[in-house]
Amino acid sequence: MSLWVVRGLRDGVVTTRWPKKPDEYADAWRGPVTVVGDADAPDVDGLCPTGAIGVADRVRVDQGKCILCGRCVAARPDLFAWAAGATGPGAAALTREALIVPQVAETDETVAAVRAALAARTAALRRSVHVRHVDAGSDGSEEWEIQALLGPVYDVHRLGIFFTASPRHADVLLVTGAGSEGMAAPLRATYDGMPDPRVVIAVGTDAASGGLLGERLTGVAGHVPVDVFVPGSPPSPFGILNALLIATGKLR
């Protein structure tokens, strides 16, 4: 046992200081695709495997559908670029429409109203937030990224965030996956078992839209009311932590 005590001290403190201090890895993260230009006839048909690119009034990208394959960035660097950084207000969306960038002006106002309502709801949580995770048909990678939050590098306990086994103790529901039929009832039962106030975070592109499986499975919003969306396939642990802090009013 003493052996492990020594080993545990070997690397000193490896935990990130974020959100108090900026984190190099979080800032260098390659996020979902954003739009950097516009064109009259952009000719982007068939470019995106999930149909995330829309050209109705101008070129827009639905980050809730973006699986980060980067094809559009490679083909049309004049129109598309990677969003920089895993954290910040832009790395999590409070409405499904807010994932579509560039956002339309109405969405901004809607988001502000949603943000105020969410903050009022979660004000009582303060520095003790209990999280329950449910996998509703993920590919398994989102679970790894959520598990990483419990590891020494992200260590969410320092922020007063704890994972709990029982939905009865949970304030936040982290949902991953495209919303498989089999998980519809267990997911709903978990949500129904949570006391108010409760917040639901859809983690990942699959949870937002179904991603590549979007023809048949359309995400988790049809099963439970989602408060915060985190794009990414999978999102980085910083992105998930960022969403947890935004959802509970610790970060704006």
Q: What is the residue type of 97?
A: E
Q: Is 158 in the site for another protein (CB under 8 A)?
A: no
Q: Segment 189-208, which members bind another protein (CB under 8 A)?
A: 189-190, 206
CA angle 93/147/208 to nearest 5° reads 30
Q: Is 178 in the site for another protein (CB under 8 A)?
A: yes
C-alpha to C-alpha distance for 226 and 193, rounded to whole angstroms:
16
Do 205 and 230 meet the contact criterion of CB atoms below 8 Å apart?
Answer: no
Q: Which of 153, 158, 195, 222 binds another protein (CB under 8 A)?
A: 153
Cβ distance to another protein smaller for residue 55 or 69: 69
Q: Is 146 in the site for another protein (CB under 8 A)?
A: yes
Min dist CB 51 to another protein, Å, is: 11
Q: Which of 55, 139, 160, 197 binds another protein (CB under 8 A)?
A: 139
Q: Strand order in 100-101's β-sheet?
A: 53-54, 60-62, 100-101
**Cross-strand partners of 174:** 133, 201
Do 15 and 215 meet the contact criterion of CB atoms below 8 Å apart?
Answer: no
Binding site for another protein (CB under 8 A): 1, 3-5, 7-8, 10-11, 14, 25, 29-30, 49, 67-70, 82, 133-148, 150-153, 163, 165, 167, 177-178, 180-183, 186-187, 189-190, 206, 211-213, 215-217, 233-234, 236
